[in-house]
Amino acid sequence: MGGRPNAGAHVLEVIGVAEGQNSRRDADVLASWRRCVIEHQLDPGRHTGPRIVTAQELNNHRQDSEELLGMARHGMEDLYRRVNAMGYVLLLANAHGITVDTIGDTELDREVRHAGLIAGSEWHESNVGTNGVGACLATGRPITVHRGDHFDMALTSLSCTAVPIHSAQGKLVGALDLSHLEPPQDKMSQALTLEVMKSCARRIEMANLVRCHRADWILRLNLSSEFLDVDPMAALAIGADGCIAGMTNNALALLGQKSSKALIGQRFDEIFSYDLDDLPKLSRAMAPVDGALEMQSGGFIFARSVPPTAPPRRAVEHAVPKPLRAIHDGDPAMRHLAERAARVVDRQISVILRGETGTGKEFIARAMHDSSRRRGPFVAINCAALPEALIESELFGYAPNAFTGAHARGKKGLIREANGGTLFLDEIGDMPMGLQARLLRVLSEREVLPVGATKAEPVNVRVISASHRDLAELVAQGQFRQDLYYRLNGLVLDIPPVRARTDLEWLIQNISAATEGKPCFSPQAMDLLLSYAWPGNVREIINLCELAAAMCDGASVLPIHLPAVITDRASSASLPTNGTSEDALLQFLNEYGGNVTAAARAAKIDRSTFYRRLRKSK
Ligand SMILES: Nc1ncnc2c1ncn2[C@@H]1O[C@H](COP(=O)(O)OP(=O)(O)OP(=O)(O)O)[C@@H](O)[C@H]1O
């Protein structure tokens, strides 16, 4: 069998690498070893193989991975036909590293089971150390982990080649792995396997893009014209609004784009020097010769367009402009908010944003402004922070020499500063009654009368207001003018607190990436952050990221780097576990406003179990 590495030598090599020594192994393998020792604190002498989840857990994972399974099954069967009887097992793992599907040689059943290459095996690096699926999911890159590259001694007879699978929105949804039970010693023997796997993942993503985007134009791309029709390197889906609506992952590298977030939503003509209306000219029907498309960044690429096969979608998702799409990563309440906001950005409908402090009211108001066609500035006014004596002149401006101490040339005032743009009135509930009447006049008459002036000046502003107080209640108490309330109360958008958001991890990672020092949270630290209630919302996440960057000196952020308010709550054992009563689950559900995903996360049980137990309690 060519011999496994000796356990002692293996441990010494791994420890040496973790301490910074060089090795001839591939850089991605070495980086994974370091993660396993430093971040995941795994023992390089381990000899345990992967954990196998329970049948119930596997069922839940399969249910959650329906899209991935649908995407990959056909490609897997096709691939397995090509390698059948060569001692290979094909695994499909979801983004958590759980094997949700396998195709294997039934004659090798005993060996396959022994190696743990079965449905339900868990391959996340933090669980079993360096392996094909785990390293591929950690980096998003294809990899071969050959024999002694594995971290766990129990796996060092295998060779595993894994490739990432991305959704049409560019999200890493899983990994496809081809494991050889008795590979030759030389890692080069797997080079062809790696290429075959890459092309399989490419074709899976391509088929999925076409399936998900029947109503869009598909643009197949290649660096040469020869294989454009049969095996393009990448493809884009282009929506009726002229924006990129979907992609295969290779499109990023091919078009020199950094991330799917940057590419999806970009206008076609921002990437290519080509008129969108001319897209049909690149189709096979119109041009038997493949077209070279000039890119805005310089250079050319070969492209073939394929017309939509279904009528245009009526869904608003792709009509949501990019700045509003960028405020969330799929949280249902935030997506709904973005879709509703998108409908009014270019209308004169007033908007009220409601949400706890720090939920991002001003941030969303700015995203609405950036999504609109308004070319004037975005001007934010905090009505609670302006001293009452100044608020009038600050808002409405004043005429030259209007009063003692006034500037000889007068003052424009913030409302006129916002002309042609957006006026964001934060904490509108705190505006003094006297000024409310004057603001109402601005909104009704579309003109401002500066202090001491005799003639009103026309203004064209779109008003977005925000309040953490209930304006209707203030009206009932006589503290807020009813007529102004009706004028402001066009569309009310409720921003969820971050503890109720299902995209909390994305939000934290987004903010940490924008923080100086870019703190990187270990899985344990991230678990604590995800179960914390964040009373200060996004502002508190920003502060935490700054603190974490200062505490960890560029290394991974571990639980000990986090403030006690976060670690104590999580360790206080007040959180329900699987043994928690159904009442406590209901309590969580109420606390999170009916959001099951957020409630299940807080209760530390998976969503399907949460549903199941709630159903049982009825
Ligand atoms: N989705 C987001 N991504 C990154 N940063 C965000 C996001 N939402 C809000 N922020 C940042 O969080 C901070 C607080 O946001 P913002 O001031 O908009 O909240 P707010 O609800 O208006 O707060 P307050 O109620 O105190 O006025 C700001 O620094 C803002 O830039």
Nearest to 357 by CA among 137, 201, 538: 538
Residue 177 and residue 46 share a domain = yes
Q: What is the pLDDT of residue 571?
A: 41
Question: Measuring from atom 9 of ligand 1, which residue has the nearest CA?
Answer: 360
How many CA atoms, within 13 angstroms, populate the side-chain half-sphere of residue 541?
Answer: 28
Question: Measuring from atom 15 of ligand 1, which residue has the nearest CA?
Answer: 360
How far does Cα 20 stand from its chain's mean position?
33
Question: Measuring from atom 2 of ligand 1, which residue has the nearest CA?
Answer: 327
Q: What is the pLDDT of residue 288?
A: 56
| 328 Cα nearest atom in ligand 1 | 1
pLDDT surpasses 80 at 318: no
Render the burial of 54-77: b for 16+ CB within 10 Å, e for the rest.
Answer: eeebbebbbebbeebbebbeebbe
Q: What is the pLDDT of residue 576?
A: 39
For the chain, how many structural domains are there in total? 4
Cβ of 338 closer than 6 Å to ligand 1, yes or no, is no
Distance from residue 354's CA to the centre of ligand 1 (Å): 13
Percent of the chain with pLDDT over 70: 90
String of DSSP letters for 396-430: H-B-TT-STT--TT-B--HHHHTTTSEEEEETGGG
Beta-carbon contacts of 377 under 8 Å, excluding residues fewer than 6 positions away, are 417, 418, 420, 421, 422
Across residues 73-94, what is the average pLDDT? 83
Residue 59 and residue 130 share a domain = yes
Residue 324 and residue 297 share a domain = no
Rounded to whole angstroms, the Cα distance separating 481 from 597 reads: 39
- In whole numbers, what is the pLDDT of the chain averaged over residues? 86
Q: DSSP letter at 457?
A: E
Q: What is the pLDDT of residue 433?
A: 85
Across residues 494-507, what is the average pLDDT? 93
Q: Tokens representing 122?
A: 């868990």
Q: What is the pLDDT of residue 608?
A: 59
Cβ of 355 closer than 6 Å to ligand 1, yes or no, is yes
Q: Sign of the C-alpha dihedral, residues 602, 603, 604, 607?
A: negative
pLDDT surpasses 50 at 317: no
Q: What is the pLDDT of residue 365?
A: 97
Q: What is the pLDDT of residue 202?
A: 94
Q: What is the pLDDT of residue 349?
A: 83
How far does Cα 295 stand from its chain's mean position?
27
Place of tokens 């076609």: 268
Distance from residue 509's CA to the centre of ligand 1 (Å): 15
Residue 30 lies in a domain: yes
Which of these three, 443, 459, 494, is where a domain ends?
Answer: 494
Residue 1 lies in a domain: no
The CATH number covering residue 196 comes to 3.30.450.40
| 327 Cα nearest atom in ligand 1 | 1
Q: Sign of the C-alpha dihedral, residues 494, 500, 505, 511?
A: positive
Cβ of 362 closer than 6 Å to ligand 1, yes or no, is yes
Distance from residue 431's CA to the centre of ligand 1 (Å): 21
Lowest-confidence segment of 273-277, 301-305, 334-338, 569-573 by average pLDDT: 569-573
Which of these three, 205, 226, 245, is where a domain ends?
Answer: 205
Cβ of 300 closer than 6 Å to ligand 1, yes or no, is no
Residue 150 lies in a domain: yes
The CATH number covering residue 344 comes to 3.40.50.300
Distance from residue 419's CA to the centre of ligand 1 (Å): 24
Residue 267 and residue 331 share a domain = no
359 SS3 class: coil
Per-residue pLDDT of 516-530, as tens digits, reads 999 999 988 998 999
Question: Measuring from atom 10 of ligand 1, which residue has the nearest CA?
Answer: 360
178 SS3 class: strand
Which of these three, 241, 271, 306, is where a domain ends?
Answer: 306
Residue 548 and residue 454 share a domain = no
Phi, psi of 65 (to 5 degrees): -105, 20
| 427 Cα nearest atom in ligand 1 | 27
Lowest-confidence segment of 17-21, 323-327, 401-405 by average pLDDT: 401-405
Helix/strand number for the chain, H first, E second: 26, 21
Question: Measuring from atom 29 of ligand 1, which residue has the nearest CA?
Answer: 539
* Amino acid sitting at position 552: C
Nearest to 414 by CA among 438, 391, 444, 435: 391
Per-residue pLDDT of 540-598, as tens digits, reads 999 999 999 999 877 889 998 999 989 875 444 334 344 456 777 777 777 766 667 77
Rounded to whole angstroms, the Cα distance separating 560 from 338 reads: 37
Question: Measuring from atom 8 of ligand 1, which residue has the nearest CA?
Answer: 360
Residue 508 and residue 478 share a domain = no
Is this prediction's ipTM beyond 0.90? yes
Rounded to whole angstroms, the Cα distance separating 345 from 350 reads: 10
What is the β-pairing status of strands 556-557 and 422-426? unpaired
Residue 312 lies in a domain: no
Residue 565 and residue 455 share a domain = no
276 SS3 class: helix
The CATH number covering residue 225 comes to 3.30.450
Q: What is the pLDDT of residue 230?
A: 78
Which of the residue ranges 26-30, 179-183, 467-471 has the most confident prediction, judged by mean pLDDT?
26-30
Cβ of 426 closer than 6 Å to ligand 1, yes or no, is yes
Residue 232 and residue 199 share a domain = no
Distance from residue 589's CA to the centre of ligand 1 (Å): 25
Q: Is 194 exposed, middle or buried (0-12, 13-18, 19+ CB in 10 A)?
A: middle
Cβ of 193 closer than 6 Å to ligand 1, yes or no, is no
Spell out the long-range contacts of 109-117 with Cβ–Cβ below 8 A and sequence spacing 24 or more: 111/181, 112/181, 115/49, 115/89, 115/154, 115/155, 115/157, 115/158, 115/179, 115/181, 116/49, 116/50, 116/52, 116/154, 116/155, 117/89, 117/91, 117/158, 117/179, 117/181
pLDDT surpasses 90 at 158: yes
pLDDT surpasses 80 at 31: yes
Residue 239 lies in a domain: yes
Residue 343 and residue 276 share a domain = no
How far does Cα 373 stand from its chain's mean position?
26
Q: Tokens representing 329?
A: 């990563």
Residue 564 and residue 418 share a domain = no
Q: Is 599 within 8 Å of 591 (Cβ atoms)? A: yes
User: Ligand 1: which of 363, 370, 424 to mutate, judged by most atoms within 8 Å of the beta carbon?
Assistant: 363
Residue 250 and residue 128 share a domain = no
Q: Is 135 within 8 Å of 144 (Cβ atoms)? A: no
User: Ligand 1: which of 495, 538, 542 to mutate, judged by most atoms within 8 Å of the beta carbon?
Assistant: 538
Q: What is the pLDDT of residue 293?
A: 85
Per-residue pLDDT of 195-215, as tens digits, reads 999 999 999 999 999 988 988
In which band, very low, low, confident or very high, does the pLDDT at 106 lie, cut at 50, 70 and 90? low
Residue 533 lies in a domain: yes
The CATH number covering residue 531 comes to 1.10.8.60
| 365 Cα nearest atom in ligand 1 | 18
Per-residue pLDDT of 257-296, as tens digits, reads 888 888 998 888 889 888 777 888 888 777 655 678 888 8
Per-residue pLDDT of 398-415, as tens digits, reads 888 777 777 878 888 999
Distance from residue 426's CA to the centre of ligand 1 (Å): 12
| 366 Cα nearest atom in ligand 1 | 18
Residue 611 and residue 480 share a domain = no
Rounded to whole angstroms, the Cα distance separating 557 from 551 reads: 8
349 SS3 class: coil
Question: Measuring from atom 7 of ligand 1, which residue has the nearest CA?
Answer: 360
Cβ of 323 closer than 6 Å to ligand 1, yes or no, is no
In which band, very low, low, confident or very high, does the pLDDT at 315 lie, cut at 50, 70 and 90? very low
Q: Which domain holds residue 75?
A: 7-205
